[in-house]
Amino acid sequence: CENKARVVSEDEFESTNGIRATLNLGHTFGHAIENVMGYGNWLHGEAVACGMVMASYMSMQLGWVTAQDFDRIKALIKTAKLPIDPPDINQVQFMDLMRSDKKAVQGKINLILQKGIGHAFLTNDYPHETLLDTINQKVF
């Protein structure tokens, strides 16, 4: 909680690519998982952890995160006994839920991705196919 408070105070107005973006890593994917699975079936932290893996995978596919860093992220999340593999969710439903996320603008899905560990940023500038590939991955 202290770390979160520090980050929020440093980026109080949630600038586009400020440090606060690191707190939102995994949330767009995670909120879609929570919504589909029903709140309580997947806890918020579980869904966000899986979303962090998905965002890291997508960042790796885009060449922004190394395979070594991706493996490190997965290992840390597994060590915490949190899920790394998403549930089987229909791609269209997943996309619709992501479009309704608070970070979406005019139907464009804004994602918090990474350029290395600890360097998260908000973007909607990515190939649509890379997002679809990420959603369609069932095992990381």
Highest mean pLDDT among 22-31, 71-80, 114-123: 71-80
Q: For residue 68, what are its two tokens? A: 């070594």
Higher pLDDT: 80 or 88? It is 80
Whether 122 contacts 16, CB under 8 Å: yes
| % residues pLDDT > 90 (the chain) | 63
Q: What is the pTM assigned to this prediction?
A: 0.86
pLDDT greater than 60 at residue 119: yes
Domains of the chain: 2-136 (1.20.1090.10)
pLDDT greater than 80 at residue 15: no
Cα torsion 84, 69, 63, 16: sign? positive
Q: How many CB atoms lie within 10 A of CB 47?
A: 27
Whether 47 contacts 30, CB under 8 Å: yes
- Say how far apart CA 123 and CA 103 lie, in whole Å: 10
Higher pLDDT: 66 or 8? It is 66
pLDDT tens figures, 22-69: 678 999 999 999 999 987 899 999 999 999 999 999 999 999 999 999
Helices 67-79 and 44-61: angle between axes, nearest 10 degrees = 170
